Structure 1
Amino acid sequence: MSALLSALYNPRDVVAQAKILAPGAGFVMVLAMAAQFLSNHYGAPVMLMAILLGIPFHFLSEHENIGPGVGFAAKGMLRIGVALLGLRVSVDMVRQIGWGFVLVIGVCVAMTILASVLLSRFVGKDRAFGFLTGGSVAICGASAAMAISSILPDRDTAERDLSFTVISVTAFSTLAMIVYPIIAEGLGLDVHMTGLFLGGTIHDVAQVVGAGYSVSEETGDVATVVKLIRVTMLAPVVLIGALVMRRQVASSGKRPPLLPGFVAAFLVLAALNSFHLVPQMVTEVTSTLSRALLVTAVAAVGMKTSIAKLADVGGTAIAMIAVQTVALAAMVLVPLLYGLV
């Protein structure tokens, strides 16, 4: 990514740099398109398909011609995709749902992440793993996992942990898409409250949409708005995480930026969208582009993942994500059932 940005200052180097990145990036794009095809035609979660299609091609990520493009897709495309998510959120969404429930969501996100960091010590994992899994469960699944991983310090298990998180969270999100509407009906929640529950608990946007509109159109609309509010919280969480990481690695001399560039871009685009300065047609195009970039980045992460190393994560880590998922659902349900919002 840095090499590409440097090349932009010298136009004559752009073509040369593009030739280096093209083989790997092109291959990852093909995997992403295959994942999208499977999702469109068979209803499979696109993020899960992308990472599973990428894993068998791990050997290519170490090839001198393919590796650079795969690395660019895993980091550069990811950051661009996350930045463009800013055009999907606005202050109007908060007004539509109400500040009371937004506060509840904010507290649930914070508690989930903090509890995950603490819990990680008891399952033999480091705090970075707890932050990664907790943030992905609390905010927006695979997209959050990708964004958070980009600010974590370099670790031998970084790529393994990221792939494990994307696979596990997507699987739990798919299960929640099926089970949570049944739970909401069993608890007697009306269509509006069901939308609040689904949007406040299911991990990935696609599964929120699937679950919400399976109940009713109103439920789907409410659930989608609540989910996008959770997406908005990605920026402050990543910013706070970057600040903490800077303090922890201060002695190493290599500190992450105070405000990651893609987070700053996310905030700027969200502000522009809040003031209605971006045409609807542009937001629709960038939304599609953002999703395509994120799917491509996930496929690249899959290519960089070793199956042997992935198996080393252990069952306790799966149990940890299960606990996070159940705890988030409980924290959102309590104020809904007792009329606190």
Structure 2
Amino acid sequence: MLLGYQLLISDVLSLGAGMILVVVCIVGLGIGGTLVMGKWLGVGPTHRLPVACGFSLCGAAAVAAVDGVIETRERREVMTAVALVVIFGTLMIPVVPAAAALLGLGNYDAGLWAGGSIHEVAQVLAAAATVWVAGLSLAGVLIFV
């Protein structure tokens, strides 16, 4: 909560209209792509939506929020969505910094990538800290936009 409290509108606006558009696209494509992939895999809509929002927004908190709005058929759908979010997000902590190094990304770009590709706040900050300590503030701003 305190990380979110530190986010100022000026921090978000300092990213520029282009970066804000990128964030909107990442979230929109993430939700849409996950919903389509889930449908192709035969996953029911009350299971697809929490997973899509958890992967594309803010992890387990988004799963809980969606569960509060829609009626899931079974509790295990929510538990599975949370488990998927935690497992994949945790896997991203070493993957993003390693991939950034392999691609030759600088600290700034690696911080952007961590903030744009990982959904849980703590996982974003853990990945960004392994790349660049100063990248924490940039990744933190992206995760809250």
- Would the TM-score normalized by the shorter structure come out above 0.5? yes
Question: Match for residue 33 of structure 2?
Answer: 115
Q: Secondary structure at the match of 1:188?
A: coil
Distance 1:171 1:86 in 2: 23
- Does residue 222 (structure 1) correspond to residue 138 (structure 2)? The answer is yes
Question: Match for residue 96 of structure 1?
Answer: 14
2:46, 2:73 within 8 Å by CA — same for their partners in 1? no
Q: Which structure's relative contact order is higher, taking Cα pairs within 8 Å and 6+ residues apart?
A: 1
2:51, 2:84 within 8 Å by CA — same for their partners in 1? no
Scaled by the length of structure 1, what TM-score is found?
0.40
Q: Secondary structure at the match of 1:102?
A: helix
Work out which of the residue numbers 82, 93, 99 in structure 2 matches 1:183.
99
Question: Match for residue 156 of structure 1?
Answer: 73
1:135, 1:144 within 8 Å by CA — same for their partners in 2? yes
1:89, 1:228 within 8 Å by CA — same for their partners in 2? yes
Question: Match for residue 238 of structure 1?
Answer: none
Distance 1:169 1:150 in 2: 17
Distance 1:195 1:118 in 2: 28
Larger Rg: 1 or 2?
1
Distance 1:221 1:208 in 2: 11
1:118, 1:127 within 8 Å by CA — same for their partners in 2? no
RMSD over equivalenced CA pairs, Å: 2.0
What do residues 295-314 of structure 1 show as CA deviations (whole Å, max 9, x unaligned)? xxxxxxxxxxxxxxxxxxxx
Question: Match for residue 121 of structure 2?
Answer: 205
Q: Secondary structure at the match of 2:69?
A: coil
2:31, 2:56 within 8 Å by CA — same for their partners in 1? yes
Scaled by the length of structure 2, what TM-score is found?
0.89
Q: Secondary structure at the match of 1:140?
A: coil
Residues 85 and 117 of structure 1: CA distance in aligned 2, closer, same or farther (over 3 Å): farther
Q: Residue 226 of structure 1 aligns to which amino acid in structure 2?
A: L
Cα offset, 1:88, TM superposition: 5.1
Q: Which runs of 5+ in 2 are unaligned?
A: none
Distance 2:114 2:128 in 1: 7
